[in-house]
Amino acid sequence: MKFIEGLKKIFLIDLFKGLFVTFRHQDPNDLVTEQYPLERPEISDRYRGQPRLVKDENGKMLCTACGACALACPDKLIKVGSMRDPETKKKVLTEFDYDMGRCMFCGLCEEACNTGSLKLSRDYEIALYSRDGLELDRKQLEDGTSRKVYDK
Amino acid sequence: MEQLKSAYGSGIRDAATYAEQNYLVVDRSICHEVLLSLYDSGFHSLTDLTAVHYPKDELPFEIVWILFSMPTNERVRVKARFADGEDVPTLTDRWVGADWLEREVYDMFGVRFAGHPDLRRILLPDEWVGFPLRKDYGLKQQDTVWVQKNLGIESGQ
Amino acid sequence: MINNFLGYLHSNVTPGEAGSLIWVTIYVLLVFAGISVGVIFMNWFERKVMAHMQVRLGPMRVGPHGLLQPVADALKLIIKEDLTPANADKIVFWFAPVCVVMTAFCTFIVVPFGRTHAITDMNIGVVFMLGVSSLGVLGVIMAGWASNSHYPLMGSLRSGAQMVSYEIAMSMAVVSAVMMTSMATGTGTLSMIGVVQAQMQQHTWFVFSFFPVGLIALAVFVIAMVAETNRAPFDLPEAESELVAGFMTEYSGFRWSLFFLAEYTSMMAVSSMAVTLWLGGWLRPFPNLLGGRNWDLAFSLVPGLAFLALAALCLFTYTKMPRLKSMRSAALGLGAFASVLGVVGIVMLLPGVRDRVQDIFWFALKVGFFMYLYVWARTTFPRYRFDQLMKIGWKVLLPISIGLVVLTALIGVRQELFALVWR
Amino acid sequence: MSDNQFYESLPEVEPGHTFLDSKELVLNMGPQHPSTHGVLRVILKLDGEKVNGLECVIGYLHRGIEKIAESRTWAGFAPFVDRLDYTAAVSNNLGYCMAVEKLVGIEVPKRAQYLRVILTELCRLSSHQIWLGTHVLDIGAVTPLFYAFRDREEILNVFEKYCGARLTTHSFRIGGCRWDVYPAFIKDVLRICDDLLPKIDEYKDLITGNRIWMQRTKNVGCISADDCLAYAITGPVLRGSGVNWDVRKAKPYSSYEDFEFDIPLGVAGDTFDRYLVRIEEMRQSIRIIRQAVAGLPEGPIIARVPKVLKPPAGEVYMSVEAPKGELGYFLVSDGTAQPYRVRVRPPSFINLQALAKMAKGGLVADVVAIIGTLDIVLGEVDR
């Protein structure tokens, strides 16, 4: 066995084996690069992207301004403003702002919301050129912010 | 555990198990001997060394040693209370691994370790004033002097 | 004017020997332009091949399939600011890249692309080449010293020591090849064209003569060649994991691109030397085995067909490109490139041009194989440590190459030896 | 000791010294250096090529996670724990959640325990693949990095499909798991296991057998078994020196006792043995995943936990076998909804202590190899 090892050492067999491994990887269907703007990655539906306030089918607000999400958020990013509707005696949401600049998308607010109105959407293109566009107010949360999508 | 209690009777305040983890609360004067005797009975690796700050008690700093013995696969936690500014005996002579752990406790709590080879801050910059993990150290508080001098900004916030 | 130009075309002797000054300068410019085009292609080739071996695509954005990437790189490097470190030694700092590039290009004076396609045919061609290629070390050490900071100093000293120690092994391997030239005619030759003609007369490439000796000599030369140009497993000087970028750390912009140019040129120079000495420079494969008229014709068609195949490949990828507004300019570019290749292919098929171009094509193909070997080694092998690198240089390569020289000599004079012994 | 104090402490040139005696060259492998796996600054005292002395300066990534914990609720602190060892977020999360469960005394349902084991072993695979890619890259071979990251991409896709994030997963909650298995989970995980085994054998041809790799890693950065115990080193570095100790076997948690897998051990305690130990560990992880997927029981995935968790006053130390070593959490609670003290026992911080001892006497190139084999992540070292 020692002799064969010696022969292998002389004829650089281990180096050639390494070479063939890299050579084998060249065939085109092995390539994995995804050219982003053309080929878009497919996103799972549990993806935690930009937060959105969801409306039910006929457009009524689901949010009851209970503030559970504001409590659950570790970094206190959510501020829920509400006023009491005189005749129905129930709270109505007036303003809801969400500071996405410091958000770490942990999903605890989505979990705490018992009416299921605050959802982290599958939108991952949320980069901006300036920081102030990140404080989302209620309207932006409801119909989503449309970012410019480049194609090249 | 029992033979330790017999050996040091008065010194050991309490030897109990909480959530099936046994721990020893030891008087600060004899904590060094207890640790060395534990070392001799097989606890060769010091898993962790940390401190907890109880500002309202008269001995505010509780130093916690977590020892582990490989042969008997057993873990014990030794705790001792120390006053502010009092020197804690170092373990770097027996457990070499204690070096950085003690430096970190000094860096975060300001507890000095007697006999430590070079006790200086390990995580924070050297000229930093204040010990962050003390309860009286505010969450957003910063050593504004250091920040202005080195980073040239008003303050972190 | 025109007729003496046509005269040069039909002359069957290298411009250097012909002694006409104008023709030599034209030829020098031609060769250096060819080398620069080779370097540009090599830049694209290395990035693409390395990428494909690493299951990724490589440059795709700048031009179709990254074809304009080298142009973009060159432009970027020219525009970039050219810093000189604070108290660096100005003159030496400026002269170092110039020296490295100069030595790299000088080696091409003697490289024969064909019987008449060499700048000149020195009768000490091989020795000249070895001498000039060892001058590159000076430039590297000057660069390291002039940058006046820790990392470049250590990097340049390391690469200086490495280049010196591998040169000896390289020259010993060359000696064994040159000795082989004297087998048939009894008198060896140092001229590069002479070496190739000797291989022509002996009907074998020196790689295959005296079976194990030629191959081992080429193997030793290839290992020393890789170490000489600080590439692949021996690229310790610019080992980014320790010394950031070796002796090139302080250079930026145009000066850095000079180093870059010099590295690729010296790679091409040293591999063309290997091709000339062992793989029969511009000879087409099996020159004697498959001799005769029709074989010559067939082999002379190969260059033209190769270019046409390339053009077809480009057209194929052109059709496969996605129909997008932003991609339209890239597609047009690819189409133009494909048509250029097609035209060149057709021109190469014309009888007059055919046999002239054939030599250069085979030489370029063999040098291309060595370039592929460089890139292949760079993607596969980890890096040697400095002391291991020196150990291999001195304790492994040197004894083998000296043993080779002795072995070649013994095999060369075996008849006389037998005669001596039997009598 | 700031820079100038450090430089002054260097020995002055004694009169007897001639110019030729090489004064020590102090080289600064600064915070941003291609091969220090993050913001670690190593001050090397070199004599030519040889390393005489070495000192690590850390703290550039110190975010004060233990201070943050004291002003967050128990559940609110879980996402921060992902940022400790950001290459193995799932095992940090597992350690923290189990520590709190032990403190409160919650029994996690069987299905959640199995699901946690599957995800932690997948996270160990992805962390080892990052280690393999960067370690081999530091020693010069460029290609394995891309193969390792291509295989890791499959695992990240499973994480994204399961819990919505690829790196900072925050996948577990105190008391169990947040989501149940998505429909194609079992198929994806088994496909990963089948794909990865031939790939690991491919690394054998490309790297393990390669003589240059052997020369660069054999008896480099050796550390003996009792040195490991003295430094309290844990994880693959400890097992590389031949000490048979793994938290999953020594103190089984989250139903690890149901699976049988063996612990790879090194012999000489050098970089090559640690490399073999980690490669073998990747194979063992695949074995565990297969058994866990086969035995995944039905049932609830989270125990009943009150909305605002107020654990009884007390303290607990719970440790988990993270890819880098024994990751421990020492929690002290005073009965309120916020932890009184959270102490994280970081394996990389304690393993890094041994760098000075292992690198002494070696060459500069070996320092890079040793940092790679210790597999440190600066998020965990600096906390």
Contacts of C388 in chain D (CB under 8 A): 215-216
**Which of B52, B95, B123 shows the shortest C-beta gap to D332?**
B52
Residue with more model confidence, B86 or C11: B86
Interface test with D, best of B22, B49, B65, B100 (most D CBs within 10 A): B100
| Most confident stretch, C224-233, C326-335, D257-266 | D257-266
pLDDT tens-digit readout, C127-173? 999 999 888 888 888 888 888 777 788 778 888 888 888 999 999 99
Contact D323, D278 (CB under 8 A): no
CB D44 within 8 A of CB D26: yes
Q: What pLDDT, on the 0 to 100 scale, is given for residue D3?
A: 60
- Residue D240 in contact with residue D269, Cβ under 8 Å? yes
Q: Do C380 and A25 touch (CB under 8 A)?
A: no
With an 8 Å Cβ cutoff, are D212 and C380 in contact? Answer: no
**Contacts for C204-210 with beta carbons within 8 Å, 24 or more apart?**
C205/C278, C205/C279, C205/C280, C205/C283, C206/C177, C206/C180, C206/C277, C206/C278, C206/C280, C207/C278, C207/C279, C209/C180, C209/C183, C210/C180, C210/C407, C210/C408, C210/C411
CA atoms of D297 and D178, how far apart (whole Å): 17
Residues 59-88 of C with CB under 8 A from A: 60
Model pLDDT for residues A18-54, shown as the tens digit of each residue: 888 888 888 777 778 888 777 888 888 889 888 888 8
Q: How many domains does chain D have?
A: 2
- Provide CB contacts within 8 A for C204, sequence distance 6+: none
Assess A152–C contact: CB distance below 8 Å, yes or no: yes
Q: Is B130 on the interface with D (CB under 8 A)?
A: no
Determine what percent of chain C falls in helix, strand and coil, rounding each to the nearest 5: 75, 0, 25
Judged by a CB distance cut-off of 8 A, whether residue B21 touches chain D is yes
In the predicted model, is pLDDT for residue B78 greater than 70? Answer: yes
Q: Residue C372: pLDDT above 70? A: yes
Q: pLDDT under 50 in chain D at which residues?
A: 1
Distance from CA of C216 to the nearest CA of A (A): 10
Dihedral, CA of residue B24, residue B29, residue B30 and residue B35, to nearest 10: 70
* pLDDT for res D20: 53
- The domain A51-143 is classified under which CATH number: 3.30.70.3270, 2.60.40.4070, 3.40.50.10900, 2.40.30.30? 3.30.70.3270
Taking a C-beta distance cutoff of 8 angstroms, is the pair D141, D213 a contact? yes
Q: Do A46 and D161 touch (CB under 8 A)?
A: yes
Of D76, D164, D170, the CB nearest to A44: D164
Question: Per residue in C174-200, pLDDT tens?
Answer: 998 888 888 767 778 888 888 888 888
Maximum Cα–Cα distance across chain C: 86
Residues D22 and D115 in one domain: no
Handedness of CA C229, C234, C237, C238 (dihedral sign): positive
**pLDDT recorded at residue C371:** 92
Q: Are C64 and C333 in contact (CB under 8 A)?
A: yes
Instruction: Using alpha carbons, select from D349, D350, D351, D312 the residue that is nearest to residue D331.
Output: D312
What is the per-residue pLDDT across C1-48, written as a single tens digit (0 to 9) for each?
A: 677 767 666 777 777 777 778 888 888 898 999 999 999 999 999 999
Question: Which sequence spans correspond to the domains of chain C?
Answer: 2-283+350-422
Q: How far is C323 from chain A (nearest CA, A)?
A: 11
Query: Per-residue confidence at A149, pLDDT binned at 50, 70, 90?
Result: confident
My answer on whether D35 and D107 are in the same domain is: no
CATH code, domain with D295: 1.10.645.10
Q: Are residues D218 and D292 in the same domain?
A: yes
Nearest to A63 by CA among A98, A91, A38, A83: A91
Least CB–CB distance from D146: residue in C55, C150, C382: C55
Whether residue D18 is found in the same domain as residue D73:
no
pTM: 0.89
Q: Do D164 and A120 touch (CB under 8 A)?
A: yes
Residues D10 and D146 in one domain: no
Report CA-CA distances (Å) from A119 to A109, A137, B123, C346, D246: 8, 15, 39, 64, 41
Three-state DSSP state, B146: helix
Task: Please give the domain boundaries of chain B with CATH numbers for all domains.
Answer: 2-123 (3.30.460.80), 125-157 (no CATH)
D31: domain range? 3-57
Mutate to test the interface with C, among A13, A15, A19, A35 (most CBs of C within 10 A): A19
Q: Which residues are within 8 A (CB) of D274 and not within 5 positions of it... i.e. 6 or more apart?
A: D236, D237, D240, D266, D373
The secondary structure element, H or E, covering residue D280 is: helix D271-294
Question: CB distance from D79 to chain A under 8 Å?
Answer: yes
Burial of B54 (0-12, 13-18, 19+ CB in 10 A): middle
Distance set, CA B101 to CA A59, C252, D126, D331, D340 (Å): 58, 44, 29, 17, 20
How far apart are alpha carbons C7 and D2 in whole angstroms? 77
Integer distance in angstroms from the first to the last C-alpha of chain C?
66
The shortest CB-CB distance from B70 to any of D245, D314, D383 is to D245
Query: Token pair for residue D251?
Result: 């103190």
Cβ contact D–A (≥3 pairs, < 8 Å): yes
Region A53-69: mean pLDDT is 83
Alpha helices (H) along C202-292? 211-228, 240-243, 254-278
Q: Give yes or no for B153 touching D (CB within 8 A).
A: no
pLDDT at position D8, please?
64
pLDDT band at A58 (very low <50, low <70, confident <90, very high): confident
pLDDT given at position D126:
94
Measured in angstroms, the CA of A144 and the nearest CA of chain C are apart by 28
DSSP assignment letter at C150: H
Q: CA-based Rg of chain D, rounded to a whole angstrom?
A: 22
Decide if D193 contacts D290 (C-beta within 8 A).
yes
More confident residue, C208 or D213: D213
In sequence order, what E strands does C40-149 have? none
D277 and D347 co-located in one domain: yes
Which residue among D16, D34, D57 closes a domain? D57
Tell me which residue has tokens 């494969």: C285
Contacts with B133 from chain D: Cβ below 8 Å: 66-67
Q: Are D217 and D272 in contact (CB under 8 A)?
A: yes
Using a CB-CB cut-off of 8 Å, the residues of chain C touching A22 are: 53, 376, 379-380
- The per-residue pLDDT for D16 is 59
Residues D190 and D186: their CA atoms lie apart, in Å, by: 6
Assess D342–B contact: CB distance below 8 Å, yes or no.
no
Instruction: Inform me whether the C-beta atom of residue B99 falls under 8 Å from chain D C-beta atoms.
Output: yes
Specify the pLDDT at position A52: 86
Q: What is the mean pLDDT of residues C73-78?
A: 88
Q: Give the Cα separation of C310 and A125 in Å (integer).
A: 40
pLDDT surpasses 70 at C315: yes
Residue listed under structure tokens 């070895």: C130
More confident residue, C252 or C103: C103
Nearest to C152 by CA among C242, C230, C227, C233: C242
Q: Is-contact C44 C60, C-beta < 8 A?
A: no
What is the percent of chain C with per-residue pLDDT over 90, rounded to a whole number? 18
For the residues A101-107, what does the mean pLDDT come to?
88
Given an 8 Å threshold on Cβ–Cβ distance, is C54 in contact with D142? yes
* Residues contacting D200, CB < 8 A, separation 6+: D279, D282, D283
* C261-305 pLDDT per residue, tens: 998 999 999 999 999 988 888 887 777 676 677 777 888 888 888
Q: Residue D202 is nearest to which of A21, A44, A108, comparing CB atoms?
A: A21
CB-CB: which of A44, A73, A105 is closest to D161? A44
Residue among A62, A18, A55, A45 nearest A122 (CA): A45
Can you give the pLDDT at residue C355? 75
Q: Which residues pair with B25 in a beta bridge?
A: B14, B79
Task: Spell out which residues of chain A touch residue D211, defining contact as CB-CB under 8 Å.
Answer: 9, 14-15
ipTM score over 0.85, yes or no: yes
D38 backbone φψ class: left, alpha, beta (φ>0; ψ -120 to 50) = left
Higher pLDDT, C203 or D207: D207
- D252 and D272 share one domain: yes
Identify the residue with better confidence: C42 or B30.
C42
What are the strands of the beta sheet with A91-99, ordered from one edge? A78-84, A91-99, A135-136
- pLDDT of residue C340 exceeding 80, the answer is yes
3-state secondary structure at position B58: coil
Dig out the tokens for C414 from the structure: 């075996």
Q: What is the dihedral of CA C393, C397, C403, C404, to 10 degrees?
A: -130
Q: Which residues in chain A have their CB less than 8 angstroms from residue D80's CB?
A: 74
Statement to judge: residues D48 and D178 lie in one domain: no
